[in-house]
Amino acid sequence: MDSRSQIPSVVNLRDETVVFPVPLLPSSVDFNPPEGNDEVHNPIDVNLEPLVVDAEGPDTVDEVVPLRRSQRIHRLAISNDYMGLTPYEKKKYVWKMLYIYMLGYDVDFGHMEAVSLISAPKYPEKQVGYIVTSCLLNENHDFLRLAINTVRNDIIGRNETFQCLALTMVGNIGGREFAESLAADVQKLLISSSYRPLVRKKAALCLLRLYRKNPDVVNIDGWSDQMAQLLDERDLGVLTSSVSLLVALVSNNHEAYWSCLPKCVRVLERLARNQDIPQEYTYYGIPSPWLQVKTMRALQYFPTIEDPNTRRSLFEVLQRILMGTDVVKNVNKNNAAHAVLFEALALVMHLDAEKEMMSQCVALLGKFISVREPNIRYLGLENMTRMLMVADVQDIIKRHQAQIITSLKDPDISIRRRALDLLYGMCDVSNAKDIVEELLQYLSTAEFAMREELSLKAAILGKSLPRLVLLIDKAGDFVSDDIWFRVVQFVTNNEDLQPYAAAKAREYLDKPAIHETMVKVSSYLLGEFSHLLARRPGSSPKEIFNIIHEKLPTVSTSTIPILLSTYAKILMHTQPPDPELQNQIWAIFNKYESCIDAEIQQRAVEYFALSRKGAALMDILAEMPKFPERQSALIKKAEDAEIDTAEQSAIKLRAQQQTSNALVVTDQCYANGPPPIVPAVGPLTLVKVPSMSGRAYCSGPALTQSNGTLTKVDSQPPSDLLGDLLGPLAIEGPPGAAVQSEHSAVTEVEGAKCSGCCSYCTSWRTDKFCSDSGVLYEDPYIQIGIKAEWQAQHGHLVLFLGNKNTSPLDSVQALILPPAHLKMELSLVPEIIPPRAQVQCPLEVLNLHPSRDVAVLDFSYKFGTNMVNVKLRLPAVLNKFLQPIPVSAEEFFPQWRSLSGPPLKLQEVVRGVRPLPLEEMANLFNSFRLMICPGLDPNPNNLVASATFYSESTRAMLCLIRIETDPADRTQLRMTVASGDPALTFELKEFIKEQLVSIPTAPRGPTTAPPAPPVVQPTSPAMALTDPGAMLAGIQFLVSLGWTVKWIVPLEIIAWKVLKSEEQYWHSFS
């Protein structure tokens, strides 16, 4: 046998071969031999018959094909006279390689021969070269570099057939080197009117592929005018390809293509009126449905349409689409018509059309969800769920609630899921009870694949304890820990429910068999609140212990720690101590002191030691405090389950530009003023707030507010890094834009001006002064949260650095820039944060002396090639070192009298304060850690507060504050601050003044004229003589108008007489 046949036949290069969606053997392939003296062949015979016959035999894979292939291809590959082969023979052997590849074998030979055919002068060989190269080589193959010049020559040449071949291959491969070398030539080819539409259409699709693969390489600067010209094309093929390119361009930057918006509307008008539409582009009577869908998709990337004529024309087209679509028997026509219709619905929602059109859309969807065709019902439910983003139509959607509930019983699980999503989204106060009851009833019959999602959403919507407990009882195996955490949080935060919850827990434990999750929640509730049942029969501590202890042998190791905690709590609540019960519980603790599980062993040892301390046990095992109002981990879990990881689409952008239902109030930068005042809600209350709205928040490259600093970044909706207190940490963030470059991400702490974001700046300050946990900073890749504890002059902070991305963050650095009055020590920060991971960095703070200066965290990290650096203000501020302390009149007035005059006692009239009711102002002072002391001031319009300030220099220093308000003018007040340290008095006075003045006010419209002076309301003589606030307001108004002293002096004398009755009470102690 020839030695050449001994070479191995197959080499695995599957990682280098990629199948591309091109026609491998199109009908236009020329099988005829070229001109010359070659042997005449049958038109369908390219010498593949032996391989086809072998493939049909019994030994194809094992023997015949590899042998034949190795023999023939090897002779071709190493033959000394290969260069002497005719073009037809070269083409024939390359076709054989493609056929072998089609059989599923890895072709690791002949690549150079396929690439060399691209440079052939004639069409048959060149066509084979392009097709086989597109199939066998991927974008990273080295051989493609050899063909770049040939491909470019074909693109810029005058042979349109060669141009089409080259554009097709480049569009299918789409490598970076192709984009760098050929993108400019493809752009010229597209905008040139001297080529046929076939060539320009291929050029548009080729450029689209190059831009999608390498958006940073393809230069599209100044392309808005060219795209606008392309939208005037009369050929629908070129127009459709151009609109596809436009969709990709505007998805990344719609600002540069505003000139294309009216052109897109004209395209829709042309299609809607069926003007100049060739027959080949009409599908079942619908003019080019693909072009209609693409055009409406492009319009959804623009936030709004300002021109009234363009907007009116577009709404006329959309109205015609809505009115002209109905369900017919022809499936193909239905598919095309509904594709256009649902894209029109999405565009109507995006543009916030009139309520009449919205109602018409809902009515049309209501018709769809009641038809027999399952696909149409699915689309109707899905689009009705999207319509929930429009607040005006939610009441109309509720009219179809019965039909939606009926869809929960549909045989198709996809329809049932969409119905569940729709019910979850449309639930509010008016229908929550009915929907939750339906979900609980459906829970017992739902299949296992839906029970977890169903129980999760029912728990979020269920606002009453009986429904939540019933949910745990019915869906035990599908109830996650987050759900029973929610029950605990709900009961802990509502004192009125605690006796009822304890009684229900006692009732469920009486059942002979209950789910382990019910054992967890019942044991926890009885441990915390069983003492509330002490007077009820059968609810003594010993009886409750016995009924809980009966469940101990049946539970897993994850539940035993909860039971041990319950035993310790029961022991604490047993007063006077019961020796028999005490010995029983101690015996259980002793039993588990040697448990192999570390958590159980630790609890048993610690509880046994604590229970022997007697009275100290009451302080250590006191009742759990109320949970802070924050976003529940259940809601995060429901959101994470619906995260769309697909390519960014207009639906996502629309969701960022619309007002949606949210379950938590988030801090954002509002473009049109401060956020609305939302009343305090419970942990289970649904609240409608603006979320991710381009109209409500600062978006784009404008300055945005993050922790009091100004950052030039795209607005991103923050999520709660710390999560629920008992829930898992959720650091999954929404998909966002790329990381900003270093020059745009570096922020300024001092001297920066916040335009349009002032209300948010102050809301950040107030929020961080009042709370000890929250999110300091967030971008698409990292979230920095903080949690703090304060004790006297010491502070313990923990920074939570969460990587939200699937790639690690490198070069992480954190530097604390403390002011002179703080001593701060940050633990070591790792240089790399792994993907989807969180690190905790403790920070110790020591207050040396009073000051209002703020510490700064200089944080930087590297993602890819981008370096991000931000400077964040830390909430280690003056009021954190205050301790509220109640002071009686016997303690207050001697101290107040001893601090006589500046610098120990400072007084100032503060103007520009937001008018607040006295009760709200008192709550505000409490949030500043200042204790309101009622009854010390005889005037009910005044406030008196006290606190102790801690620092290394002053140790514990008593601070006294008096606030005198004016009932006639709540925008001003007089404040007096006194303490034994002059620096503390001044700093505390300025701190309170900053907070009162910086409270966000209602948004005001732009005005060019200066504000008019306040108008003095007429008062009756009796009121003027008895109301000191009215008299002071009159005096200050006269001063503001420039009255001289000689006119004011008589008024001051009168004012003094009026105020004497109030002031003499305080002046007697000065």
| Residues with Cβ within 8 Å of residue 970, at least 6 apart in sequence | 913, 915, 916
Are residues 887 and 850 part of one domain? no
Instruction: pLDDT band for 239, please (50, 70, 90 cuts).
Output: very high
Asked if 341 and 324 count as a contact pair (C-beta separation under 8 A), the reply is no
Residue 252, domain member (yes or no): no
Model pLDDT for residues 262-311, shown as the tens digit of each residue: 999 999 999 888 878 888 889 888 899 999 999 999 998 988 788 888 88
Secondary structure element (H or E) that encloses residue 964, with its range: strand 955-965
The phi and psi torsions of 187 (rounded to 5 degrees) equal: -65, -45
Whether the per-residue pLDDT at 663 is higher than 70: the answer is: no
Give the CATH number, domain containing residue 949. Answer: 3.30.310.10
Model pLDDT for residues 691-748, shown as the tens digit of each residue: 333 333 333 333 333 333 333 333 333 333 223 322 333 333 333 333 333 333 333 3
Instruction: pLDDT band for 470, please (50, 70, 90 cuts).
Output: low
Asked if 514 and 477 count as a contact pair (C-beta separation under 8 A), the reply is no
The phi and psi torsions of 947 (rounded to 5 degrees) equal: -165, 165
Residue 432, domain member (yes or no): no
Asked if 1016 and 1034 count as a contact pair (C-beta separation under 8 A), the reply is yes
* Mode of pairing for the β-strands spanning 882-884 and 905-911: unpaired
Are residues 541 and 559 part of one domain? yes
Whether the per-residue pLDDT at 243 is higher than 90: the answer is: yes
The domain boundary, picked from 88, 122, 138, lies at 138
Instruction: pLDDT band for 464, please (50, 70, 90 cuts).
Output: low
The pTM of the full predicted model, rounded to 2 decimals, is 0.48
Q: What is the pLDDT of residue 454?
A: 60
CA-to-CA separations, 226 to 187, 194, 197, 819, 987, in angstroms, rounded: 10, 15, 16, 56, 62
d(CA 881, CA 791): 7
Q: Once rounded to an integer, what is the mean pLDDT over residues 43-47?
A: 41
User: What is the 8-class DSSP label of residue 397?
Assistant: H
Q: Which two tokens stand for residue 723?
A: 């999560």
| Residues with Cβ within 8 Å of residue 834, at least 6 apart in sequence | 803, 808
Q: What is the pLDDT of residue 742?
A: 35
Instruction: pLDDT band for 458, please (50, 70, 90 cuts).
Output: low
Q: Which two tokens stand for residue 55?
A: 């493939």
Q: Is 95 annotated as a binding residue?
A: yes
Asked if 521 and 766 count as a contact pair (C-beta separation under 8 A), the reply is no
Q: Is 96 annotated as a binding residue?
A: yes
Residue 632, domain member (yes or no): no
Asked if 482 and 725 count as a contact pair (C-beta separation under 8 A), the reply is no
Whether the per-residue pLDDT at 358 is higher than 80: the answer is: yes
Q: Which two tokens stand for residue 911?
A: 């103007």
Q: What is the pLDDT of residue 769?
A: 55
| Residues with Cβ within 8 Å of residue 778, at least 6 apart in sequence | 706, 716, 718, 719, 721, 733, 784
Q: Which two tokens stand for residue 582?
A: 């005490």
Q: Which two tokens stand for residue 233?
A: 């094309």
Q: What is the pLDDT of residue 451?
A: 56
Mean pLDDT of the chain: 71
Cα atoms in the Cβ-side hemisphere of radius 13 Å centred on 728:
13
Q: What is the pLDDT of residue 274?
A: 83
d(CA 633, CA 641): 12
d(CA 677, CA 710): 24
The domain boundary, picked from 844, 874, 904, lies at 874
Are residues 953 and 809 part of one domain? no
Bigger pLDDT: 1063 vs 980: 980
Q: Is 424 annotated as a binding residue?
A: no
d(CA 591, CA 593): 6
How many separate domains does the chain show? Answer: 6
Q: What is the pLDDT of residue 456?
A: 58
Secondary structure element (H or E) that encloses residue 605, with its range: helix 598-611
Q: What is the pLDDT of residue 1043?
A: 43
Q: What interhelical angle do 160-173 and 123-136 show, nearest 10? A: 10
Are residues 867 and 902 part of one domain? no
Instruction: Please list the alpha-helical segments (H only) found in 834-981.
Output: 889-898, 918-927
Q: What is the pLDDT of residue 51?
A: 52
Instruction: pLDDT band for 66, please (50, 70, 90 cuts).
Output: low
Q: What interhelical angle do 498-509 and 516-529 show, nearest 10? A: 140
Q: What is the pLDDT of residue 445?
A: 63
Q: What is the pLDDT of residue 264?
A: 92
Are residues 1052 and 970 part of one domain? no
Helix (H, G, I), strand (E, B) or coil at 717: coil
Are residues 986 and 896 part of one domain? yes
Residue 640, domain member (yes or no): no
* Buried/exposed 607-630: b ≥16 CB within 10 Å, e otherwise: bbebbeeeeebeeebeeeeebeeb
Whether the per-residue pLDDT at 687 is higher than 80: the answer is: no
Secondary structure element (H or E) that encloses residue 321, with its range: helix 308-323
Q: With 0-12 CB in 10 A as exposed, 13-18 as middle and 19+ as buried, what is 282?
A: middle
Helix (H, G, I), strand (E, B) or coil at 789: strand
* Mode of pairing for the β-strands spanning 955-965 and 972-979: antiparallel
Give the CATH number, domain containing residue 827. Answer: 2.60.40.1230
Q: What is the DSSP string of 199-254?
A: HHHHHHHHHHHHHHH-TTTS--TT-HHHHHHHTT-S-HHHHHHHHHHHHHHHHH-S
Asked if 662 and 465 count as a contact pair (C-beta separation under 8 A), the reply is no
Print the domain residue range for 198: 145-219
Query: Residue 738 CB: number of other CB atoms within 10 A?
Result: 12
Closest to 1027 in 3D by CA, of 944, 945, 1069, 965: 965
Are residues 1039 and 975 part of one domain? no
Are residues 101 and 199 part of one domain? no
Residue 86, domain member (yes or no): yes
Q: What is the pLDDT of residue 267?
A: 92
Q: Is 768 annotated as a binding residue?
A: no
Residue 992, domain member (yes or no): yes
Q: What is the pLDDT of residue 420?
A: 79
Are residues 696 and 797 part of one domain? yes
Direct distance between the N- and C-terminal alpha carbons of the chain, in angstroms, rounded to an integer: 121
Residue 383, domain member (yes or no): no
Are residues 695 and 679 part of one domain? yes
d(CA 245, CA 206): 10
Q: What is the pLDDT of residue 290?
A: 92
Model pLDDT for residues 398-436, shown as the tens digit of each residue: 888 888 888 888 888 888 888 877 877 777 767 777 777
**Helices and strands counted in the chain (H then E):** 41, 20
Are residues 154 and 134 part of one domain? no
Residue 301, domain member (yes or no): no
Q: Is 92 annotated as a binding residue?
A: yes
Are residues 618 and 520 part of one domain? yes
The domain boundary, picked from 138, 156, 180, lies at 138
